[in-house]
Amino acid sequence: MQKRTLGKSGLEVSAIGLGCMGMSWSYGPPKDKQQMTALLRGAVERGISFFDTAEVYGPCTNEELVGEALAPFRGQVTIATKFGWEPNPSDGGKWTALNSHPHQTSGGVVAQSA
């Protein structure tokens, strides 16, 4: 698998990443957790080291799924997460409000080696 260096940080990831949104949100009902865990771990075994998630997917359940599935590969993979969303009371509780204050988000890390 080819690698890429992100920015000036020296963080190296696989050239191909895996977006995880559809595993627990957006494209129909959440997928089977055991199957998604197997898929994520299989991706690592095939050389994928860059995974994308967000607190709004679920909400928060996608980050939990990805974190739990990739825990055995700590230090070998990078999980990127998008944060800054929060439930909007004036929109029926949908995650349409923005709040990127670190002390008020469940995320706060843009990319970090898991």
The domain made up of 3-113 has a fold known as TIM Barrel (3.20.20)
Is 57 among the catalytic positions? yes
pLDDT value for 110 = 41
Do the bridges between strand 78-82 and strand 111-113 make them parallel or antiparallel, or are there none, so unpaired?
antiparallel
Decide: helix, strand or coil at residue 23: helix
| pLDDT per residue rounded down to tens, the chain (114 residues) | 999 999 998 999 999 999 999 999 899 999 999 999 999 999 999 999 999 998 888 888 999 999 999 999 999 999 998 878 788 889 988 888 888 776 654 444 444 444
pLDDT value for 82 = 83
Per domain, the residue ranges of the chain are 3-113
Q: pTM for this structure? A: 0.79
Among the options 50, 57, 83, 85, which is catalytic?
57
